[in-house]
Amino acid sequence: MANVSLGTVVPDFELPSTGAKMFSLQQVRGQFVIVYFYPKDNTPGCTQEGQAFRDNYSRFSELNALIVGISRDSVKVHEGFKAKQQFPFELLADTDETVCRLFDVIKPKIMYGKQVIGIERSTFLIAPDGTLLQEWRKVKVNHHCDDVLNALTDYARN
């Protein structure tokens, strides 16, 4: 499967989700979808990013947007992270990296002086018709949620 690119329709994908569900992109057509990829549950940056989306959740909802977070963690780990942080959105488990590779977020990184392969923090804004409108790569957590909300507001007004 080819990687997603701006201005094209994102292929449907399915992943196991918190709440004992399967998430399908096709099933949420008709609303904006914010897909944010993050490296690991219960780590400082990932917690801060999720909290920012949580704290602004009602503003996203008012603009007809659904938020989902994706990492390689299991649904079981996601359930604990979601409950602890009181996230009102679902977390999806991409344990085999299929969707991570579709969005091209698996990258070599340096951790503690060693090269590892992991998720590059990235966010994607998908239109109600499934078209990829915008992407943010190599995300820095501070103010990122505001950037996504501002872009969504602009698209929702047009």
Catalytic residue annotation: 46
Distance in angstroms (rounded) separating the CA atoms of residues 125 and 108: 24
Please give the structure tokens belonging to residue 154.
Answer: 């602009």
User: DSSP code of 138?
Assistant: S
